[in-house]
Structure 1
Amino acid sequence: MRDRYGHLDIDSLLPLHNQQEQIAVGVREVFVPQTVRTDPPPVDLPRELWQRLADSGVLDDRDLPGDLDHHTLAKLRHSYEARPARPVLEVLAEPDGQKMVLLGDPGAGKSTLARYLAVVLAQRGGDVLPAGLVGLLPVLIELRRYADPTWRGLSFVDFLDRQHHTDDRLGLPRTLLERRLHEPGRVLVIFDGLDELFDRGDREVIAHQITGFATHYPGARVVVTSRHVGYQRGPFDAAGFSHHMLQDLGQKQIDLFTQRWYRIACPGNPPEAARLRERLLTAIASSRSVQELAGNPLLLTILAVIGRRQTLPRDRHNVYRHAVTVLVEHWEVSKHLAATDPALPELDREDKLDLLRLIARRMQDGRAGLAGNHIVGTDLFRMFETYFQVDHALPPGPAKVAARAMLEQFQHRNFILSRFGSQVYGFVHRTFLEYLAAEDIDVRFGNRELSESDLLQGVFGARWSDPAWHEVLLLLTGIREHFAGRIIDRLLAADPYWRLRDKLPQHILLAMRCLGELRKPVALGPRHRAIAGALTHLLESLRSRPYDLALLTAFKQIVVPVITTLGPRWPGRDYYLAWYRLRGQIHLSDLRMDSRQMASIANQIALALDPSSDLRQYLFTVATDHHHEAIRRTAVEAIASGWPGDPETLLWLRERITDDADEYVRQAAVRAVASGWPEDPGTLPLLRARATGDTDAYARTAAVRAIASGWPEDAGTLPLLRECATTDEHEYVRQAALRAIASGWPEDAGTLPLLRECATTDEHEYVRQAALRAIASGWPEDAGTLPLLHDYATGDANAYVRRAATQAIVSGRADDPGTLFLLRERATSDHHAYVRDAAIRALASGWRVHPGTLPLLHECATTDNHEDVRMAAVDALASGWPEDPGTLRLLRERSIDDGNEYVRGTAVRLLASGWSEDPGTLPLLRERASSDTHEYVRQAAMHAVAVGWAKDPGTLFLLRERATDDANEYVRRAAVRAIASGWSEDPGTLPLLRECATGNVNEDIRIAALTAIASRWPEDPGTLPLLRERATSDDQPIVRDAAVYAIAVGWAEHPGTLPLLHECATSDNDEDVRTAAVNAIVSGWPGDPGTLSLMRQRDAVDRRKGAQEAHSRRSR
């Protein structure tokens, strides 16, 4: 057993032409037990669809083959959730595991589990097994060997007896085996690989033999392994076998496997093992596709083998090429074709890869595109048939035979394609579809079937906005690395109007991801500045979109991993750090409190690019001395995340918590200590003291939340939270404590009574709202919940509480007969707009088909006396009834005649987005952009025209007219920015911007023009002179400040820059401009002899400002 099954077959994980990296890996040394789910659903789905179904329960119709519907999928998901994953060894050891079938995907570890059990039970000792398995005699029967004609006709016992007398001695003598089999609970018999019997008749015969064996020896524990594709469970159900499906490995299992693997792969070299393991785990965490592969034990092993030689994820296309090559080479299709008809051609590796690429191309050209990952069996058959006729010159008859044999191979034997639904096929791993689609495009590009223009415009230009194509585009970038510069240029220029949209700027994010694909990013040269500029523009744009959670998530998942991987070697580093020190913190300090995470991300990027002590000292100085508390707060967060291992950091943070004069800084320090040092014995006492003793409510709130999330098991936590929820003088603290109790202690007998008490007696509406929402979500079935919500929806004196109760009633209670009546009454009769707004939105989403909803919305859109309610009704009509002829009429009427500019602006945007094809939309928008009496509407209409009709010859004329003639400076500034973004190639744009930068116009317009010129025309010979002239001669300090910043960041290497900054730092008559110049010199030229005196000057200015602001706060 040990000699035959004790080691993994690493040779099979290496391409046949590259077998030199052989290492001996024992099964017991690396095996990580999987988990299983009981009685898996009967429908086969590709892995990524299963995962999406499990995560969200939602799949797009395009993702599904024709014979699967959402009703079936809902039942599948319910089945999935009702059967939680459990450790496989525990399930095998249970009484119900006496007769069991273990199903799994190819590579799920079925045979490895069988071999592990055989070896560990045979050797006895060492591994800890569940009690039900300890002491069992292992018998492993490889069914592919048993099915060999040599053993045909033998019983399993006869087969094992014969095996015992052969050279490998894997069997057992008949007398010993018979005796043990008849003794209850003495033997574990594993029949491994039922799916490896390709002939269906053989499978059926042997399945009945196995069930008969289990019946004849009821005391034996019997386990059968098989792939789930093609498995027929009827005989095993009839014999009382239970069924379990092996699950993908989770993160903890992956961590454990990689630790064990590299310990063996790097004997005697723990540092190297740790380095390789961390590199692989980072690659897995950074890529959705690699994560998908890593859940499969076989593919995880392939990743680990490859990880010894190359870095992931930058070599992902090579990883996938290796995996596909291994699986294709070990797929013996030619042997099967020859068995079907000896005259059929032999297919080599390239033939098989050609076929797979053709399938990927057919899928990407289908209705669902790359999002679908499925192809109908008849289409696949015709593809194979055509392939054999064209590429191998087979006549139609033999081509059909070969095609049918190929289809059988993919259905029953191959790892890459599998069947799901009825006669519908897809790639088992979506990653294979994406890789092969990318390789297909690359092969055609290399063969000159596709030109450079086809690749840049027809592939990247046409597909960058489709998320289903992103992985293919990234792989192509990695494959064609020498072409990456032009690809990134194309992406960065793909959407010049992104600032005008609410959607994610996918082109910038995709360009950042492409940067992460490159093995030699330095080869991009000057493009790194463009990438860094796009990154800083993206961060600065957050001032106008502070609640954009999608962008925040994109930064966390895309930008931070890419920049962290590149680190200080990124050539765009200096540009970003210059922006971060000179401008970044100022911009980010203007963000609202909800966007502090984005400030933290900007800090993370800076720390990844400059982990030096210089940056640390700079942040310490900023955190303690800067006059702006928001900048001090972000510096505190950066220090906590950048140097958590330094003992000085914790001491310094505690000092901030107790001594800093600003409540926001103390709040940031509280959060940092709670999340970064939860094990320190002083942390919990410090937080308790802050929760009850800090003079500021924000700091107390931060402490309450930290204690509730970090120490829920501590006996003192719940009493402290109850005290804060009922006795703290500030509503924010009471609200935070109440929410923590509701979410963390719902089973406690005192929680619901406390929530009801606070909902009825607390004096502040925020606390009553929080209590009502907690009751509605946590106790929806309680008999007192619905009456309580009804009472507060109509009777509370505060509109916010009535709104919260109204929203809570709707959630999950659409069938309640009183709900519709209450909503209609609230939508028309409540005296506050917030409540009417909530009721209207609830009716539109939950009662769309009710005949009274549409007329009510029309009435509210035209007659309600508050603009928020009319806007809510207009928005609901546009999204819910776009086909109704009355909707378009109402939107046109509201865009012109409504008395409120925000309603008119909303109608304008809805017309542009939903009715762009209507011939009347563009004329109406142009008229609104020029003639509306309010700047908000004119700007909204102008933006809509610029984004939706950029190629219309009248659009640029409209923008130029608005840029020069509009009465409002905000409209003129927006027009300037739109022209600079979308028409930089027009010969009239740069002269217009220069005119705006120097003319007698509003200073904000001059800044917008200067910023556009500096970022888009840095190479123009007139740009630097213009900036120098504005930095010294403009009559507005804010314009001079902007010019100083642009010069310092963009022309740091120019010999005239430092002298100019010295001049501005000492001679400008405005203190802010002098300070900006000093900051630029200190940040960019720390070694300059004059820097020290300038630092002293800045320090004095900052202290004076700090003292003035402190005095102002005390006076308030």
Structure 2
Amino acid sequence: AEKGLAGNLISADDLEESLTGYLRSIVDSNARGMAKVMIEQLRTRNFILCYMGADYYAFVHRTFLEYFCAWEFVWQFEKERSLSLDELKTEVFGQHWQDESWHEVLRLIVGMIETKWAGEVIDYLMTLEGEAEEFMEFINLFLAAKCLSDVRNRSVLRETATRLLKQLKGLTNYDLDYYYESYGKEASIVRHIRRQAVAAVAATWQDEPDTLPWLKQLTTSDDDEDVRRAAVEGLAYGWKNEPDTLPWLKQLATSDDDDVRCAAVRELARGWKDEPDTLPLLKQCATSDEYWLVRSGAVRELARGWKDEPDTLPLLKQCATSDDDGYVRSTAVEELARGWKDEPDTLLLLKQRATSDDHYHVRREAVGELARSWKDEPDTLPWLKQLATSDEDWLVLSAAVRELARGWKDEPDTLPWLKQLATSNDNEYLRCVAAEELARGWKDEPDTLPILKQLATSDDNSDVRSTAVQELARGWKDEPDTLPFLKQLATSDDILNVQGAAVRELARGWKDEPDTLPLLKQLATSDNNWYVRTPAVEELARGWQDEPGIFELLCNIAVNHPFEREKNWQINPRQTALEIIIKQYPAYPQTLPLLQDRAENDPDEKVREFAQKKLAKWS
């Protein structure tokens, strides 16, 4: 239908007409009556179709829809010859490889057609440009691997399989060729690609003799924790019935590598739940492992896999109140709220954790669970309002305000209360959060934009002003006043991190404006303060990597920026520029001599140490 595979609906008239048309081709009479009987049979006896109301039918299981769709293409390609190989590649696979709802259909097609044609389709998928698809990076290669696993006779496609395997193994070391923050969106994309690559190799080449040793090597020697964890997961899933897998996982669960232990404990809990040693091992990990993330993971697995065990609830209560680490207590609080909501002690325990735990993360988690799971309790709203203005930790205050704004958005008091917090409260953290929630939940309210402008220019706290700047730039990008307003802040505001926030928003939201690049260059080279120069340098590298003169500008900053360290935590723009050059321009002939020079001659000891470490890894 018009919506493709998303539309699993057909009108009763169209369904009857479709079946009648087919039946007329094989019987002489009463095709329509037979079609009606057939529909009833498919609905009430075979449970292939279901009646959706409003005179519409659908497949009970999406698998039928996908199978018939795939078979139709195969029929056109192999039987009718109305679809050529090039059309199959470009009009079927080329049109739908980016849409994950089509992937099962595409895999079914590859599994149905002759192997040599399947190889051509997989070769075609490998030629597509998948790297540019945000949050679906290299989906063409991952789809190609899944298609390869469905080929009837893979031995015929040895060359194609080898090339694909090499590309996927390369993706386990994938990185972006520009500077990015360690915990931002780009870092998440990189981790996702690496994990997917490991999983694809483990699943598609499971029968290859080299795959198991390769995965084992990754678990112990790869520098990336996400790759190590993905290797453990791939091994546990793909080699579950191998006699060595369980002992090996047990060994990993007690190894020296914290991240590998986490993954091994999780896989043991999910894949070997009925093994007599698994529950005791989880209990031991939950209560006595030295690494908080292992304890937290074991608590989660116990709560979800052994809910009915008599020891589980007491153990969770103990962890929620007594574990030395706040994140472990937080996990236990979350699991108690979700799995034991009706236990008489749970609500009391959460309220106690929300108000008296000495770790902000526990209090914040307890606040969130109370707001979501006990929303209809009459005491919850007044309790949250009180907490939102009385807790000593800003993260807990933030959590309470967010839960109120999102869970009680339609309460008549919520909007006036948020406005008051944003403009009049003495706590700068509350003003920040209230501004964010107003911008995101009440964008169309006439007072919201004026409040944000007021906060961005007049609030006496720089964090509140920066928050208002960010929300204005992202929510009111098309307002005619927004761009001039940001330019003014980026060049003349007297608060440095407000300037920095304006610089970042200009670079990311108005990249194609003719004034943006010259402005960033000016700020990167001429602004008096590192707090403004640093984001300007980073954004130039991020958005204009291939622009003529950017490399030379970065080299100039790396050598000549006048930064002098006053405090240990300050970021030296010379180091920022040097780090970007190493990452983005490693093959340039000037890069290595520049790094050697900075390792010997930079006046900042921290920059010299940074350059020396990079030199040691240069080869």
Whether the TM-score (by the shorter chain) exceeds 0.5 is yes
CA distance in 2 between counterparts of 1:798 and 1:622 reads 47
Match of 2:58 in 1: 248
Alignment-mate amino acid for residue 54 of structure 2: H
Q: Does 1:688 align with 2:573?
A: no
Aligned pair partner of 1:573 in 195, 211, 215: 211
Q: Deviations over 1:348-407 (max 9, x none)?
A: x63xx52x669x95xxxxxxxxxxxxxxxxxxxxxxxxxxxxxxxxxxxxxxxxxxxxxx
Give the alignment's Cα RMSD to 1 decimal: 4.8
State the TM-score, normalized to the length of structure 1. Answer: 0.44
Aligned pair partner of 1:668 in 293, 297, 306: 297
Aligned pair partner of 2:467 in 796, 817, 838: 838
CA distance in 1 between counterparts of 2:16 and 2:370 reads 45
- Equivalent runs, 1:15-34 vs 2, <5 Å: none
CA distance in 2 between counterparts of 1:466 and 1:512 reads 16
CA distance in 1 between counterparts of 2:248 and 2:197 reads 27
- Equivalent runs, 1:764-843 vs 2, <5 Å: 764-796=393-425, 799-843=428-472
Deviation at 1:559, TM superposition (A): 6.2
**SS in structure 1 at match of 2:54:** strand
Match of 2:357 in 1: 728
The more displaced of 648-657 and 671-680 is 671-680
Q: Is contact 1:912–1:944 with CA below 8 Å preserved after alignment?
A: no
Deviation at 1:193, TM superposition (A): 10
Q: Is contact 1:814–1:846 with CA below 8 Å preserved after alignment?
A: yes
Deviation at 1:742, TM superposition (A): 1.4
CA distance in 1 between counterparts of 2:596 and 2:426 reads 44
Q: Is contact 2:229–2:260 with CA below 8 Å preserved after alignment?
A: no
Q: Is contact 2:97–2:140 with CA below 8 Å preserved after alignment?
A: yes
**SS in structure 2 at match of 1:742:** helix
- Equivalent runs, 1:699-738 vs 2, <5 Å: 699-738=328-367
Aligned pair partner of 1:145 in 30, 34, 53: 30
Q: Is contact 1:844–1:876 with CA below 8 Å preserved after alignment?
A: yes
- Residues 783 and 469 of structure 1: CA distance in aligned 2, closer, same or farther (over 3 Å): closer
CA distance in 1 between counterparts of 2:135 and 2:306 reads 38
Q: Does 1:937 align with 2:577?
A: yes
Match of 1:927 in 2: 552
Deviation at 1:782, TM superposition (A): 1.7
Q: Is contact 2:169–2:197 with CA below 8 Å preserved after alignment?
A: no
**SS in structure 2 at match of 1:601:** helix
Q: Does 1:889 align with 2:522?
A: no
Match of 1:45 in 2: 2
Match of 2:382 in 1: 753
CA distance in 1 between counterparts of 2:153 and 2:495 reads 59
| Structure 1: gaps of 5 or more residues | 1-43, 52-84, 86-100, 112-141, 149-169, 171-189, 195-226, 228-241, 255-290, 304-316, 329-348, 362-433, 440-458, 592-597, 917-921, 947-955, 971-1000, 1010-1116
- Residues 703 and 606 of structure 1: CA distance in aligned 2, closer, same or farther (over 3 Å): same
Alignment-mate amino acid for residue 12 of structure 2: L
Alignment-mate amino acid for residue 145 of structure 1: N
CA distance in 2 between counterparts of 1:485 and 1:435 reads 11
Deviation at 1:558, TM superposition (A): 8.1
Deviation at 1:776, TM superposition (A): 0.5
Q: Does 1:908 align with 2:540?
A: yes
Q: Is contact 1:878–1:887 with CA below 8 Å preserved after alignment?
A: yes
Match of 1:855 in 2: 484
Aligned pair partner of 2:224 in 572, 587, 595: 587
- Residues 485 and 872 of structure 1: CA distance in aligned 2, closer, same or farther (over 3 Å): farther
| Structure 2: gaps of 5 or more residues | 21-26, 40-48, 559-573, 600-610
Deviation at 1:737, TM superposition (A): 1.1
**SS in structure 1 at match of 2:12:** strand
CA distance in 1 between counterparts of 2:149 and 2:305 reads 29
- Residues 492 and 944 of structure 1: CA distance in aligned 2, closer, same or farther (over 3 Å): farther
The count of residues paired between Structure 1 and Structure 2 equals 565
CA distance in 2 between counterparts of 1:1005 and 1:474 reads 46
- Equivalent runs, 1:505-524 vs 2, <5 Å: 505-506=138-139, 508-521=141-154
- Residues 556 and 324 of structure 1: CA distance in aligned 2, closer, same or farther (over 3 Å): farther
Q: Deviations over 1:603-658 (max 9, x none)?
A: 2112234333434323323322x344344333322322332231321121112222
CA distance in 1 between counterparts of 2:17 and 2:335 reads 40
CA distance in 2 between counterparts of 1:926 and 1:766 reads 40
Deviation at 1:939, TM superposition (A): 4.9
Deviation at 1:723, TM superposition (A): 2.7
- Residues 765 and 555 of structure 1: CA distance in aligned 2, closer, same or farther (over 3 Å): same
Match of 2:370 in 1: 741
Q: Is contact 1:908–1:941 with CA below 8 Å preserved after alignment?
A: no
Match of 1:619 in 2: 249
Deviation at 1:777, TM superposition (A): 0.5
Q: Is contact 2:201–2:211 with CA below 8 Å preserved after alignment?
A: no
Alignment-mate amino acid for residue 704 of structure 1: V
**SS in structure 1 at match of 2:409:** coil
**SS in structure 2 at match of 1:248:** strand
Deviation at 1:526, TM superposition (A): 8.1
Alignment-mate amino acid for residue 587 of structure 1: D
Match of 1:396 in 2: none
- Equivalent runs, 1:245-644 vs 2, <5 Å: 245-246=55-56, 248-249=58-59, 253-254=60-61, 291=62, 294=63, 296=65, 319=71, 321=73, 350=80, 353-354=81-82, 437-438=91-92, 481-482=115-116, 504-506=137-139, 508-521=141-154, 535=168, 538-541=171-174, 548-550=187-189, 560=199, 562=200, 565-566=203-204, 568-584=206-222, 587-588=224-225, 600-611=229-240, 612-624=242-254, 626-644=255-273
Q: Is contact 1:357–1:437 with CA below 8 Å preserved after alignment?
A: no
Match of 2:563 in 1: none
CA distance in 2 between counterparts of 1:192 and 1:485 reads 43
CA distance in 2 between counterparts of 1:944 and 1:655 reads 46
CA distance in 1 between counterparts of 2:340 and 2:64 reads 32
CA distance in 2 between counterparts of 1:487 and 1:875 reads 43
- Residues 683 and 629 of structure 1: CA distance in aligned 2, closer, same or farther (over 3 Å): same
Larger Rg: 1
Deviation at 1:778, TM superposition (A): 0.8
- Residues 695 and 109 of structure 1: CA distance in aligned 2, closer, same or farther (over 3 Å): farther
CA distance in 1 between counterparts of 2:195 and 2:512 reads 39
Q: Is contact 1:604–1:642 with CA below 8 Å preserved after alignment?
A: no
Q: Is contact 1:935–1:968 with CA below 8 Å preserved after alignment?
A: no
Which structure's relative contact order is higher, taking Cα pairs within 8 Å and 6+ residues apart? 1
Deviation at 1:735, TM superposition (A): 1.0
Q: Does 1:103 align with 2:19?
A: no
- Residues 1007 and 740 of structure 1: CA distance in aligned 2, closer, same or farther (over 3 Å): same
Q: Is contact 1:806–1:839 with CA below 8 Å preserved after alignment?
A: yes
CA distance in 2 between counterparts of 1:1008 and 1:768 reads 46
- Residues 438 and 824 of structure 1: CA distance in aligned 2, closer, same or farther (over 3 Å): closer
Alignment-mate amino acid for residue 5 of structure 2: E
Alignment-mate amino acid for residue 103 of structure 1: A
Alignment-mate amino acid for residue 540 of structure 2: V
CA distance in 2 between counterparts of 1:635 and 1:684 reads 23
- Equivalent runs, 1:167-178 vs 2, <5 Å: none
Deviation at 1:767, TM superposition (A): 0.8
Alignment-mate amino acid for residue 321 of structure 2: T
CA distance in 1 between counterparts of 2:239 and 2:36 reads 58
Aligned pair partner of 2:506 in 871, 877, 894: 877
State the TM-score, normalized to the length of structure 2. Answer: 0.75
